[in-house]
Amino acid sequence: MSIARIEIDVGAQRLVAYDRHAKSVFDRPISTAKRGVGEQQGSECTPRGKHMIRAKIGSGCPPNTVFEARRPTGEMYSPQLRRRYPERDWILTRILWLSGTEPGFNRLGMVDTMRRYIYIHGAPDEDPMGQPSSHGCIKMRNRDVIELFDRAPAGTPVSINA
């Protein structure tokens, strides 16, 4: 069943998706920014407000595919790879690229969610969920982001609430 809208609760560190009848059909733990919420370019905060899924990247890629600049690197994530690159921001498996829909708040200028490259994306299995730890994005377990990716079409509304 297709997802009609997504709500992200930063305080609860949960992502809940609803069908067209407003019934909850998907509820998973997430991780938002360790620096909290905010819209400013360079803040490494999770932006609030109304967004939409602008683009979906990674269809058909195996779990743990590593992405840089929205392209597969050819690497598969492993703890050994993490030890080789300890400072890397791991974006894995799928990317749901968000775009703000509120001009002046999360769209255009120095507060543009899409230009900030804010995604819902997969993360290493050992990364904690249910507590803030990202650089602004919304991180999910790989199996969860695959399911969300498969069920949420481009254009799906996404609300991020603090």
Tokens for 5? Answer: 């809208």
Instruction: Per residue of the chain (162 residues), give pLDDT as tens.
Output: 789 999 999 999 999 999 999 999 999 999 999 999 999 999 999 999 999 999 999 999 999 999 999 999 999 999 999 999 999 999 999 999 999 999 999 999 999 999 999 999 999 999 999 999 999 999 999 999 999 999 999 999 999 999
- Using alpha carbons, list the distances in angstroms from residue 40 to 48, 55, 109, 117: 11, 21, 9, 12
Using CA atoms, how far residue 125 sits from 7, 40, 104, 134, in Å, is 23, 29, 36, 14
Taking Cα atoms as reference points, which of 58, 65, 12, 48 lies closest to residue 159? 48
CATH no. for 5-161: 2.40.440.10
pTM summary value: 0.97
Burial class of 68 by CB neighbour count within 10 A (0 to 12, 13 to 18, 19+): exposed
Bridge-based pairing state of the strands 65-68 and 91-100: antiparallel
- Cα–Cα distance measured from residue 127 to residue 141, given in angstroms and rounded to the nearest whole number: 9
What is the residue extent of each domain of the chain? 5-161
